[in-house]
A and B are shown apart, each in its own frame.
Chain A
């Protein structure tokens, strides 16, 4: 069933129940996301896609469109920027030497929201690295807890989770089942590293292989990819 909504005053027709962030992209409105990927179930963890829906702030990746919805994207722009700044402040995101630079979604979303520096004090967390697996290195202080790895990376034989979250609150961290991780194929390791929006999941011994100028978001910007329906 078709419904009519408005996005920043723009009249938009969409199928009822479609995800708001996808509907916006299909109509040329880019809403940044970090946990959400088109075509995959919504996680709703990062809140970076927050917009105002009928006056209430909601994460656009969690909202199915309904008739008469009035969506404001431009208005909470500074709030989205603040959310990105908080993610930077919460971890150790040293873009200049990070191998994910140029391919990092947090970095590119930082540029998209116009972030120059975090207005919040940096926490400089000390989270232990996980280096035991043969093929994967977990650089935990770069994790933004999007939970993509938790939900979408599974052992191929048993379907069991390889990544999970341990502890609570500010002590939370991603942990790995090392035995299951060591059963991952090289291809699966590569996919896990690509799935991670930041430089937390690394393929051991492999970094900086894309020359500057040919890195993912230098070749085609994230905004462009999203608006053309590619997802992230």
Chain B
């Protein structure tokens, strides 16, 4: 008789999801799915709002990568008023660097949260360790000094965000055409040099390096397990600059194959020409793919692993991260890395890269002086804008349209976790086949392996849930005694 295994909820991710694995009578995996079971609706309820509210309203979709949503919205607003890249306008140096600073700060704190709080417990204790030990509290007990450093590291990233946006979470800085404040010397210096209770940027880089070493130590001891855990081939996607290197804030979209050869590169404003999206009745999350290659071959991987596969170099301004990137590329002989647990290696490298980029920016005088806003005038109004940034979890896109009065008439969000949907499902299947298939007994550790595979993507299901066409929605009306009065399934 066939069996269905259900992991509900999937833990230590952002949002609510569940996994079902279908086994036949011989315990062979016949199907495996990651279901996103929550429903949001931001794209709908932003309709009618004044266009300049969009980045403030839509950043509330997430409590982790709100800066990315805020900046995506800001770039779209730049386009709408005719001060954006779509109109061929380059952002002024001061606002662009301030936006970048906040963005890198968020990447540092978001990756730190995912890597150290959610993923490292597995690395230190193993996937078979009991759940009550295999968590951040277990980490506190086992290595309190490491946890103190991690807390300090994350705090510093949050202070960068607060310095730029005014609050640690859901702050305000970007306005159409620029930002509303620059840094003063005192704000810059406390991030550069630290103060009691706050790290200096050099200490941050040291802690970031420790994160990379942590992965190497784990990798050396468990090389076979890490490398063979799940290998999921897919295309890799990232924003890149003119040299083909990752740019977390702005660039062209580049997609590379397993040989790291470019299969597509385009201006993100043309995304509708290049991407299509499929839907499944069992999930609120859509399945984007590269239109030219179709749903299977065109599935994309974004996020740390996708980015380090795409980027050629980090350039001269991040020498420590550059050395790690070269080691990463050498490990697969220059080919794209498909080993899912190496996403954590890539994430650790990006923490270091973010820290080095922040140090460079903090030494830039443009943060302290220069005009803040481009005012292109009413004639430049376009009424449509697209913003793309590399969010911690991957390529994030916001697309808005506004009517002549300024009311939003259309909003489309394609978030990183959605881009990863197909490869996450492939990962679930791969891990399920390796760990569950054909076994007579299913253990906690085997079930957890599936979560480990999902967690490597650090998915944010709260951001990714979508409504398109007829979504599976069940509404039940009960009376006070719990009797079902009406039930609708759509």
Q: Which residues of A contact B (CB under 8 A)?
A: 96-97, 99, 129, 131-132, 137, 139, 202, 204-214
Contacts and interface: CB of A to CB of B under 8 A. Distances in A.
A205 B181 contact: no
B305 interface: no
B406 interface: yes
B50 A208 contact: no
Given A129-B48, A205-B81, A211 B180 contact: yes
A211 B406 contact: no
B156 to A, nearest CB: 19
Interface string B154-172: 0000000000011100111
Contact of A207 (B52, B166, B170): B52
Contacts of A213: 166
Closest 9 A-B residue pairs measured CB to CB? A212-B166, A131-B405, A211-B181, A97-B57, A97-B56, A207-B52, A208-B172, A211-B180, A209-B180
Interface string B404-423: 01110000000000000000
A205 B406 contact: yes
A212 B175 CA distance: 13
Nearest to B177: A205
A212 B60 contact: no
Interface residues of B, number: 22
Contact of B53 (A97, A132, A209, A214): A97
26 contacts: A96-B56, A97-B53, A97-B56, A97-B57, A129-B48, A131-B50, A131-B405, A131-B406, A131-B407, A132-B405, A137-B50, A137-B405, A137-B406, A139-B50, A202-B50, A205-B52, A205-B81, A205-B406, A208-B56, A208-B175, A208-B180, A211-B166, A212-B165, A212-B166, A212-B167, A212-B171
Nearest to A137: B50
Interface of B: 48, 50, 52-53, 56-57, 60, 81, 165-167, 170-173, 175-176, 180-181, 405-407
Contacts of B175: 207-209
Given A207-B52, A211-B166, A211-B173, 5 more contacts: A129-B48, A137-B405, A207-B175, A208-B180, A212-B167
A205 B53 CA distance: 9
Contacts of A96: 56, 60, 170
B407 A129 contact: yes
A204 B48 CA distance: 14
A91 to B, nearest CB: 15
Nearest to B52: A207
A208 B52 contact: yes
B53 A207 contact: yes
Nearest to B373: A209
Contacts of A137: 50, 405-406
A205 B180 CA distance: 14
B346 to A, nearest CB: 33
A212 B60 CA distance: 17
A214 B184 CA distance: 14
A113 B181 CA distance: 32
B176 A212 contact: no
A139 B406 CA distance: 12
A85 to B, nearest CB: 23
Nearest to B405: A131
Chain B CB count within 10 A is highest, among A96, A99, A208, A210, for A208
Contacts of B176: 205
Contacts of A131: 50, 405-407
A96 B166 CA distance: 13
Contacts of A208: 52, 56, 172, 175, 180
Contacts of B172: 208, 211-212
A211 B170 CA distance: 13
A122 B51 CA distance: 26
A47 to B, nearest CB: 30
B215 to A, nearest CB: 36
Given A96-B60, A99-B56, A213-B166, A207 B50 contact: yes
A207 B49 CA distance: 13
Contact of B60 (A97, A99, A207, A209): A97
A209 B372 CA distance: 11
A129 B171 CA distance: 26
A204 B53 CA distance: 11
A207 B77 CA distance: 12
Nearest to B50: A137
Contacts of A207: 50, 52-53, 175
A202 B52 CA distance: 11
A202 B50 CA distance: 9
A132 B410 CA distance: 19
Nearest to B56: A97
Contacts of B165: 212
Nearest to A132: B405
A99 B53 contact: yes
A181 B286 CA distance: 45
Contacts of A139: 50
Nearest to B166: A212
B21 to A, nearest CB: 39
B484 to A, nearest CB: 25
Nearest to B375: A205
Contacts of B406: 131, 137, 204-205
A132 B167 CA distance: 34
Contacts of B173: 211
A129 B408 CA distance: 12
B80 to A, nearest CB: 10
Contacts of B48: 129
A204 B407 CA distance: 10
